[in-house]
């Protein structure tokens, strides 16, 4: 009975946040079309609405930890669900995401991603995707901000293993900027698939920056160790047990 009730309120929560997405998009459209600031305010306003209703309806409280980067940096983040995208975007002053090009065809999200100069790449063509990514990032460097990349390339469920891709290291070398790793536990409470949401504290944590100049292998090892170690700790804090004994899976 308790599980059925949780599923029901989770379904209500999910339904209403997707219902509100086009409403926010349309309300802000006259401003967003002509101003990146307008597009950014729209997306942050919508995200804050989601955070508020997540706490009110399903008991998820969103918390950002660590010093939030302000200048031009590369952000390399653990990705577990849609929630960590919204939390990172809302925390950063001027975030731009590297994302798969299919997202550009998603209603509302795709249009606003274009307005915010997010970098779309074709994941099916690895070498070409990396080159396109570097070129587009270089072309947009006059618009200072925080470039967000997911080193594993996709959402990864808590406890699952997936390699860190070399594209992050190439950007780190090309941009010659600090790289700020980001850990999270949001997938324990808001899974990458399905309706069920679990109450608790969803955390996104900005970690110690990796300064430019490291060798590629050293950078990748350092990045993965920092992100995975801290994400594991945050997931345990949220009640996840790595052997699969977790009531939200």
d(CA 185, CA 201): 9
- The pLDDT score that the predictor gives to residue 144 is 63
C-alpha dist (Å) from residue 82 to 17, 63, 131, 146, 189: 12, 15, 26, 19, 12
- The pLDDT score that the predictor gives to residue 127 is 63
- The pLDDT score that the predictor gives to residue 145 is 82
Task: Name the phi and psi angles at 185, rounded to 5.
Answer: -130, 10
- The pLDDT score that the predictor gives to residue 105 is 86
Model pTM? Answer: 0.91
d(CA 206, CA 201): 16
- The pLDDT score that the predictor gives to residue 112 is 95
pLDDT tens digits for the chain (249 residues)? Answer: 678 999 999 999 999 999 999 999 999 999 999 999 999 999 999 999 999 999 999 999 999 999 999 989 999 999 999 999 999 999 999 999 998 888 888 899 999 999 998 888 876 665 666 676 667 666 655 566 899 999 999 999 999 999 999 989 999 998 899 999 999 999 999 999 999 999 999 999 999 999 999 999 999 999 999 999 999 999 999 999 765 444 433
d(CA 124, CA 174): 22
- The pLDDT score that the predictor gives to residue 141 is 52
Number of neighbours of residue 9 by Cβ within 10 angstroms: 15
Residues 6+ apart with CB under 8 A from 82: 190
**Runs of H (alpha helix) within the chain:** 2-32, 36-53, 82-91, 109-115, 126-139, 167-175, 186-189, 216-237
- The pLDDT score that the predictor gives to residue 63 is 98
Q: Which residues pair with 204 in a beta bridge?
A: 64, 184
| Max CA pair span of the chain | 56
- The pLDDT score that the predictor gives to residue 110 is 93
d(CA 190, CA 204): 13
C-alpha dist (Å) from residue 217 to 12, 93, 104, 120, 165: 46, 30, 32, 26, 11
């Amino acid at each position: 009975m308790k599980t059925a009730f949780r599923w029901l309120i989770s379904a209500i929560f999910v339904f209403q946040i997707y219902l509100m997405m086009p409403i926010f998009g349309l309300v802000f459209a006259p401003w967003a079309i002509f101003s990146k600031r307008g597009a950014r305010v729209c997306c942050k306003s919508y995200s804050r609405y989601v955070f508020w209703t997540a706490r009110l309806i399903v008991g998820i409280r969103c918390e950002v930890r660590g010093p939030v980067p302000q200048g031009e940096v590369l952000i390399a983040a653990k990705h577990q669900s849609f929630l960590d995208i919204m939390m990172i975007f809302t925390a950063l002053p001027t975030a731009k995401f590297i994302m798969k090009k299919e997202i550009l065809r998603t209603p509302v999200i795709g249009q606003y991603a274009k307005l915010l100069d997010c970098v779309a790449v074709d994941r099916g063509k690895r070498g070409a995707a990396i080159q396109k990514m570097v070129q587009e990032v270089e072309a947009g460097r006059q618009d200072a901000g925080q470039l967000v990349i997911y080193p594993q390339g996709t959402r990864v469920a808590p406890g699952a293993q997936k390699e860190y891709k070399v594209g992050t290291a190439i950007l780190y070398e090309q941009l010659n900027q600090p790289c700020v790793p980001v850990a999270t536990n949001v997938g324990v409470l808001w899974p990458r698939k399905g309706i069920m949401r679990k109450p608790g504290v969803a955390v996104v944590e900005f970690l110690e920056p990796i300064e430019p100049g490291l060798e590629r292998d050293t950078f990748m090892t350092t990045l993965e160790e920092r992100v995975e170690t801290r994400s594991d700790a945050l997931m345990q804090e949220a009640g996840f047990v790595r052997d699969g004994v977790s009531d939200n899976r």
